[in-house]
Copies of this chain bind each other. A is one copy, B any other.
Amino acid sequence: MKKGRVTIHDIARHLNIDGSTVSRALNNSPRVKPKTIEKIKKAAKELGYKPNVMAANLRTQSSKTIGVIVPWISRYFFSSAISGIEEIAYAEGYNVIICQSHDEYDREVANAYTLFANRVEGILTSVAMDTVKYDHLEQFIDEGIPLVFFDRYAPDIQACRVVIDDFQTAYQVTEHLISGGRKRIAHFSGPSNLNIYTDRLNGYKKALEDYGLVFDPNLVFESRLLIDDGVEGIKYLLSLPDRPDALFSSNDLAAIAAMKYIHQNTPFSVPGDIAFAGFSNSPSASIIDPGLTTVDQSGEEIGKIAAKRLIAEIRGETDKGVNEIVTINSNLIVRESSGEKVPRLVKQAKS
C-alpha cells in the first residue's frame, strides 16, 4: 500500500457528499439515487479509486479468504487440486492463501497459525505424513471455522472429507493384478497414521483373501513413498527368497522409482517378471515405458468439489452434516506395466 491511494473519502470530498453515500453507491445500494450512483462511479474511475479490501473486511468481519495447507505444492496431484480450488474460490470472490507443510508436523502447525491470524473463513487441507496430533486443526472447528479435508484426512476430526474410495479402488487394482495371474503381490504402503494408506492396504488384503491368496506381511513395505523409498523397497523385495511377481504401490512416485531401478540395475523385466501398479495417475505414469497401470484421481476435480463444499459451509448453505464423506470417482487405468506375465526364465529358455 503506497502513499497516494485514493479512498472513498477522497471521492466524497471531491463531490461534496458523504463517504457513506459513496460506499453505498459503489455497492449499488438502492438507498442511493441511480443518478448519484452514476456520478460517483464516474468520479471513482476518474480518480483511480481501487477498493481497499482489508478495510472492508475488517469492518465486515469477513476476510473473504480461504486457507489451504498441502504437503507439497509441486506434487502434481496437489498442484492440480490447488488449481481447481483457485478456480472455484476466485469465481466466488474468495482469495486463497496456500501453505505447504513439507509433510512435517511442525510446519503444519505454523501454517495453521498463519491462516488463523489471517482470519481465513475456511480451511482446505490434506494432512502431513508426520501429523498424528490434530489440535491445530481442531481449533478451527472449535472456532466455527469450516474445514474440509481432501485426500488425506484426520479421522478423529469432525469435518467433511472429499476423498476417493481408497479401499475399493485398492481392491480393484489388486484384483486386476490377480486376474493377470499374479500370485505373490507386494505392496508399498504409506505411513499408517494416514487412513488413505491403511484403507488401500486393507483393500489389497481383502482382494487377496477373496481370491484365496495368502497375505504375507513380508510383502508389505511401509515408507513415506518417496523416490528413495521406492528404490529401497524394491531392493528389499527382490532380496526375498520368494520374490513377488507383482507390486502395487500406494503412489506413482515410488512405483516409478522402483521400475527405473529394475530396468537399470537388475535383469528382471516389467511386466514379464514383475507387474506394476501405482496410484494417482501422475503425468509420468503415462510417460514411462512400459506405461504404469495406476488409479486416476483427478486433483483438479477433487479441489473443485472440496472448494465448493467449503464455500457452501462458510455460507451456511449446506444441509449435509459437517462430517459428510464425499466420495469422488476414481478409475483404474490399465497400462502395459501390469500386462502379461512372461517370467524371465521362460524367456531365457527360448533364446
Interface of A toward B, CB cutoff 8 Å: 1-5, 50-55, 57-58, 61-63, 72-76, 79-80, 82-83, 86, 90, 95-100, 113-114, 116-119, 121, 143-145, 256, 260, 283-284, 287-289, 299-300
Contact = CB atoms under 8 A, between A and B. Distances in A.
A145 B86 contact: no
Given A1-B119, A4-B143, 14 more contacts: A2-B143, A2-B145, A52-B119, A53-B118, A73-B80, A73-B82, A74-B82, A75-B79, A76-B79, A82-B98, A86-B100, A90-B114, A97-B97, A289-B289
Contacts of A61: 1
Contact of A79 (B4, B73, B95, B97): B73
5 contacts: A74-B300, A98-B98, A260-B287, A288-B288, A289-B289
Contacts of A63: 1, 54
Contacts of A57: 54
A80 B300 CA distance: 18
A141 to B, nearest CB: 11
A53 B118 CA distance: 6
Given A57-B54, A63-B54, A100-B86, A95 B114 contact: yes
Contacts of A74: 76, 79-80, 82-83, 299-300
Nearest to A85: B73
A54 B95 CA distance: 14
Contacts of A284: 283-284, 287
Interface centre among A3, A55, A74, A144 (most CB of B within 10 A): A74
A83 B100 contact: yes
Nearest to A93: B114
A90 B51 CA distance: 26
A117 B86 contact: no
A96 B111 CA distance: 12
Given A98-B96, A100-B83, A118 B54 contact: yes
Contacts of A76: 74, 76, 79
Nearest to A87: B100
A16 B316 CA distance: 37
A51 B117 CA distance: 6
Contacts of A288: 287-289
Contacts of A113: 50
